[in-house]
Amino acid sequence: MSRRILLVNGPNLNLLGTREPEIYGEETLADVEVLVSRVAGDFGLDVRAVQSNHEGALIDAIHAAREDCSAIVINPGAFTHTSIALRDALAGVALPVAEVHISNVHARESFRHRSYVSGIAACVVVGCGVQGYEFAVRRLAALIAG
């Protein structure tokens, strides 16, 4: 079995650290990727990190995970609330998925309350800041270990 996790960040998450810091905090995407790699490393897992503002590029990265990854951590950004195609891609590769949202989407606008991804996710981490990515990795590591 592959010892790799795919970390996927969707649209606008490249702006972490400067984007609405009162909502998303001051840590950058690079900080998130370092955190995820460090925590994964504690479980003997390595990480491929992908960020894109383009739905198709995210879907291609998810498909590629079939070859060499055993789980996916994804913050789909706004595509969470809009993209059946992203959900279908995640369901199609049949790897355990941890869905992460930095902010508490349920305490925000009603259009953020629906997620197309949650129904196929192994776990959902919401409103824990960037620490949510760490929780997601820990949970996936446990699932992979069986």
Known catalytic residues are 24, 101
Task: Residue 73: name the closest of 16, 125, 115, 14 by CA.
Answer: 125
- Does residue 75 bind ligand DQA (CB under 6 A)? yes
**Nearest-approach distance from CB 78 to ligand DQA, in angstroms:** 4
**Nearest-approach distance from CB 4 to ligand DQA, in angstroms:** 23
Q: From CA 79, how far away is CA 82, in angstroms rounded?
A: 5
- Does residue 112 bind ligand DQA (CB under 6 A)? yes
**Nearest-approach distance from CB 31 to ligand DQA, in angstroms:** 14
- Does residue 101 bind ligand DQA (CB under 6 A)? yes
Count of residues that interact with ligand DQA, criterion CB under 6 A: 10
**Nearest-approach distance from CB 77 to ligand DQA, in angstroms:** 3
Among 102, 123, 136, 140, binds ligand DQA (CB under 6 A): 102
DSSP 130: T
8 Å CB contact between 46 and 4: yes
Residue span binding ligand DQA (CB under 6 A) among the ranges 36-44, 48-56, 72-80, 86-94: 72-80
Element (H, E) at 92: helix 84-93
What Å distances lie between residue 144 and 32, 63, 67, 91, 95, CA to CA? Answer: 21, 19, 16, 17, 10
Q: From CA 133, how far away is CA 139, in angstroms rounded?
A: 10
Token look-up 């595509």 returns 79
- Does residue 105 bind ligand DQA (CB under 6 A)? yes
| Contact set with ligand DQA (CB under 6 A) | 12, 75, 77-78, 80, 101-103, 105, 112
